[in-house]
Amino acid sequence: MKNKKITIKDVAKQSGVSIATVSQILNGNDQKFSPKTVEKVLAAKVALNYEPDYFARRMIMKKSKTIGVLVPDITNPFFSTLVRGIEGILYRENFVTMLCNADLDTKKEIDYLEELSRRGVDGYIIASSAISNQAINETLRKKNFPYIVLDQKKAEGFSDAVLTDDFSGGKMAAEHFKQLNHKKVAVVLPKDATENIQTRLIGFQTIYPEVELIYAELSKTGGRQAASAIVKTDVTAIFAINDELAFGLYLGLADMGKKIPQDYSVIGYDNIDMCEYVTPQLTTIAQPIYELGQITAGLLLERVAQPEKDWEEKTLPVQLIQRFSTAHLK
């Protein structure tokens, strides 16, 4: 015979208090009760091996204690570090992270957004710019769901946002090449660049208005393939729009017998861990990736708790980390 499922009613009976009191205490609202009452309820929960019914609790409290996080490519170390920062804050506040990896597939991103809505998550963190503002408007904004966009997509005054200073990052990369006497430079980036990447390029072009643009998929494979286009130019320095592209360039240029920094100076963007493990170590523009995740999660939880508060947009600084992939042009 199947064992009878233990309910909150059984915990209330065992502890000698009301069901409402048990519910309040088990959901973390124990400040209004005496330590003795709290102790009795928790002891009854352990003794009966009671586990709250997730769906029943959600129906009562109208909260799931779950945050949906949508990223375009979890294989990119940038996003894995970002999610670690997000998850750390959510875990501390007893929220569960529901991660959706879209594999750079726009349809998949929109499908995930709708599915998260159906599953009743309390809020959304959107780290992909492929989702149109129209999709966000129809799926989230009209239904008053708390959400936050970060890094790749500006809020446009309709949600909180956390960004990094991409304009300054691009300008820093260009200034470094200028100091090293490079006159002809290239930027490797995807053809349909996201807004944050376009902003990096604009910052770079304040120093180098005339720049060779080499288009490539935003990956190590894309960087490797871009090397064949690079060697057909007369550039001496390359700004890879992210570190993954830079690592691909390392291999692609080596395939063609070229050396870094002797033949080409290279700067990446992000400062993921691998920058220190390649040879030569990669000069790059560092984003505070983990902090970006933490601040994003904290800001969203504030929005969940205070839906009517004013929108906030935060921009975090970046910095040049000089290593050994760049050299002075003689």
pLDDT of residue 316: 95
Cβ pair 169, 285 in contact under 8 A = yes
pLDDT of residue 50: 82
Regarding the domain with residue range 66-164+289-316, which homologous superfamily does it belong to in the CATH classification?
Response regulator (3.40.50.2300)
pLDDT in tens, 15-47: 899 988 888 888 777 788 898 998 998 998 888
pLDDT of residue 217: 93
What is the residue extent of each domain of the chain?
Answer: 8-61, 66-164+289-316, 166-287
pLDDT of residue 119: 79
Please, which residues bridge with residue 145 across strands?
A: none
pLDDT of 85 over the 90 cut: yes
- Fold match between domain 66-164+289-316 and domain 166-287: yes
Higher pLDDT, 59 or 145: 145
Summarize the confidence of residues 6-16 as an average pLDDT. Answer: 87
Summarize the confidence of residues 239-249 as an average pLDDT. Answer: 97
Distances (CA, A) of 177 to 119, 166, 295, 322: 49, 17, 32, 11
Higher pLDDT, 276 or 194: 276
pLDDT of 157 over the 80 cut: no
**Edge-to-edge strands, sheet with 283-286:** 212-215, 185-189, 237-240, 265-270, 283-286, 319-321
| Residue listed under structure tokens 């102790």 | 39
Higher pLDDT, 53 or 194: 194
pLDDT of residue 29: 75
pLDDT of residue 1: 38
Summarize the confidence of residues 230-252 as an average pLDDT. Answer: 97
Secondary-structure class of domain 166-287 per CATH? alpha beta
pTM, whole model, 2 decimals? 0.80
Which of 103-117, 125-139, 174-188 is least confident? 125-139
**Edge-to-edge strands, sheet with 123-126:** 96-101, 66-71, 123-126, 147-150, 160-164, 313-316
Summarize the confidence of residues 238-267 as an average pLDDT. Answer: 97
Instruction: Classify domain 8-61 at the CATH topology level.
Output: 434 Repressor (Amino-terminal Domain) (1.10.260)
Which of 9-13, 47-51, 256-260, 280-284 is least confident? 47-51
Share above pLDDT 90 across residues of the chain, in percent, rounded to a whole number: 54
Higher pLDDT, 319 or 43: 319
